[in-house]
Structure 1
Amino acid sequence: MLEVAIMIEGQDGIDWPRWKRIVRTVEDAGYAALHRSDHFTNPSGPVKDALELWASLTWLAENTERIEFGPLVTPVSFRHPVITAWQAAAVDGLSGGRLRLGLGAGWQEREHTAFGFELLDAERRFARFEEGLEVVTRLLRSAEPVSFEGEFYRLRGAVLLPRPARPGGVPVVVGGNGPRRTLPLAARYADEWNGLFLDAKRFAGLSARLDEMVEEAGRRPEEVRRSLMVRAVFGRTEARVREKLGGAPRGALEEQAAIVGTAGEFVERLGELQEAGAQRVMLQWLETDDLEGIEELASGVLPQL
């Protein structure tokens, strides 16, 4: 059965009251998970409330019982991987083993410039990301002391205690579509690969390429779960869909693999993604105050999957 989750842009006006309402709605409505981004700001436009990632996930871990959750994704460019691994192990334990740790290289120039973090050029950024993945996965997966000598990070007999609650540590998610940089890293380090804004055909193609890379890395393809994030514009009626679009061309969004429409259209598109190999679809929900829409989507779509 395909899992359906909600994904929230945490930098797009999320404060504590709004976050708590979203969390409770997603938990009660029956979704599999709630994921959120980790940014200081949007790439452009006004600066809005951006509730800090790990504080928000700690509250979620303590105040929900069922849903999985995690960052999609948290970057090593402004979060040190040792601290990220430490926080992830603690929050996963608090939740009873429901965290999925999405990690990324970082990409947004605005926030790095504003807060004084080095983004680096693409080659060195991904070199740093690979080292970060090495550090995080070794700390989370091994009870033995970890030593590592890299360009960006160095460890000397490091051990994280208490250990993660789950055997094998917190599952690591690597997101992105790049066949040259991202997919090879997912093949080596990830428990889950998350594609971004892909239709079923492109998702299936990249997933097949990932299978080859996973085998080349000495692993089995089934060891790496497959998920996908897409924009969602849902309305209980066509009139509500048009209202949400606000005059924006529907076709342009659909060309970017967005799912736009009523329950029947969502069921059809999600079915196509499941046939393409997606095990979880994260619906990027930008209307963060439209909790009724989240509930209506759940009641209209989830029972039909």
Structure 2
Amino acid sequence: MELRIFTEPQQGASYDDLLAVARAAEAAGYDAFFRSDHYLKMGGVDGLPGPTDAWITLAGLARDTSTIRLGTLMTAATFRHPGPLAISVAQVDQMSGGRVEFGFGAGWFEAEHTAYGLPFPSTVERFERYEEQLEIITGLWNTPAGQTYDFSGKHYTLADSPALPKPAAKIPVLVGGTGRKRTPALAARFADEFNLPFQPVDNAVEVLARVDAACAEIGRDPAEITRSAALVVCVGRDDAEVARRAAVIGREVDELRQNGLAGTPAEVVDKLGSWRGKTGISRAYLQVLDLADLDHVELIAAEVAPQLRG
């Protein structure tokens, strides 16, 4: 199983904070560094120094790292128009030498839209726009060089687009969520990876079954879609260290053990093994909430990751 680091910088992080975590993750051998795409803090934190833009951050990391893959869980379709977004992501991929992955969602956090003057349509319209954006962005990237791209939809129209720039490599598209109909259908059509965000394992099994069924409806082999899960992580060498790390992020150890990955390295290996056995996931995004604790990142790489390989 691959382990990836996932950060929530809207809770309070500068670019330099994120760079330190990304470099630590790269040095420790993690497969990828991902970040959220949010413009407003959540919960009882001050969020200082304020939000950072996901794709500006990843552009910087593309030049300030060298091997680790980079991506978002999830870029919000409500934040950007699809044409300029396709250009931005392709450019960051070029800047990184082909290391970008594109997690993309419909957008859900209404308060951040209000705070920064972004329209927040109804759920129905958000998913209409999301579907059109998925088709446009992948269509622009996949248009052969020298040809043009056209699209006419309910919300977006493109005519005679040169469909440039091209990514340095094929950019994997991640779709995720727990929607019962539209999300599985969009995953079946567009996703290279399906991500389960912070779900109990039994619920995850049900969600993945819906994705498999959606694939069957369009004749796609569900094995073509990588399965992954995002889970908050809190690992310690002993119970005291686990409790200390939980306290820093304002969580209870028992709750983290139930809803995330908490405990000693052996406990976390067992939990991930159970996840893999029940759901078939091959990749875990470890939500690291204390970005100053680089020892945490290194501990997991040293004592958890080796037991999950193979």
**Normalising to structure 2: TM-score of the pair?**
0.92
Instruction: Give the CA deviation at 1:114.
Output: 1.1
Distance apart, 1:29 and its partner CA:
0.8
Query: Is the Cα–Cα contact under 8 Å of residues 102 and 173 in structure 1 kept in the other structure?
Result: yes
Residues 236, 293 of structure 1: 8 Å contact kept? no
Aligned pairs, number: 301
- SS of the equivalent of 2:304 reads helix
Measure, in 1, the Cα distance between the counterparts of 2:251 and 2:189. 40
1:44 touches 1:110 (CA, 8 Å); kept in 2?
Answer: no
Alpha-carbon contact 1:145-1:157 (below 8 Å) kept: yes
Q: Which residue is 1:293 aligned to?
A: 296
Q: 1:47 deviation in Å?
A: 4.2
Q: Does the alignment pair 1:10 with 2:9? A: yes
* CA shift for structure 1 position 159: 2.4
The one-letter code of the counterpart of 1:262 is T
**Counterpart AA for 1:43:** M
SS at match of 1:179: coil
Deviating 4+ runs (over 4 angstroms): none
Return closer, same or farther for 1:249/1:292 CA change in 2, 3 Å cut-off.
closer
Query: Aligned equivalents of 2:293 and 2:47: distance in 1?
Result: 21
Q: TM-score, normalised by structure 1?
A: 0.93
| 5+ residue gaps, structure 2 | none
* Cα distance between partner residues in 1 of 2:237 and 2:162: 51
Q: In structure 2, what is the equivalent of residue 265 of structure 1?
A: 267
Contact persistence 2:234–2:256 (CA under 8 A): no
* 1:74 corresponding residue in structure 2: 75
What does 1:1-305 align with in structure 2 at a 5 Å threshold?
2-45=1-44, 46-48=46-48, 49-143=50-144, 144-166=147-169, 169-246=170-247, 248-255=251-258, 257-275=259-277, 276-305=279-308
1:170-211, Cα deviation, whole Å (9 max, x unpaired) = 111112121222121111111111111123333233223211
Question: Does the CA contact (< 8 Å) of 1:39 and 1:50 recur in 2?
Answer: yes
Q: Deviations along 1:93-142, whole A, 9 cap, x unmatched?
A: 22222111011111111110011111111111111111111111111122
The answer to whether the 8 Å contact 1:13/1:50 transfers is yes
For residues 248 and 191 of structure 1, do their structure 2 counterparts lie closer, same or farther at Cα, with a shift above 3 Å needed? closer
Q: Is the 8 A contact 1:195 1:203 kept in 2?
A: yes
Which of 96-105 and 174-183 deviates more? 174-183
Q: 1:36 to 1:248 in 2, by over 3 A?
A: closer
State the Cα distance separating 1:44 from its structure 2 match: 4.6
SS of 1:100 mapped into structure 2:
strand
Report if aligned partners of 2:197, 2:229 keep a CA contact under 8 Å in 1. Answer: yes
User: Could you tell me how far 1:279 is from its partner in structure 2?
Assistant: 1.5
Report the 3-state secondary structure (helix = DSSP H, G, I; strand = E; otherwise coil) of the residue aligned with 2:108.
coil
Q: Is the 8 A contact 1:75 1:106 kept in 2?
A: yes
By how many angstroms is 1:63 displaced?
Answer: 2.3
Q: CA separation in 2, counterparts of 1:172 and 1:214?
A: 16
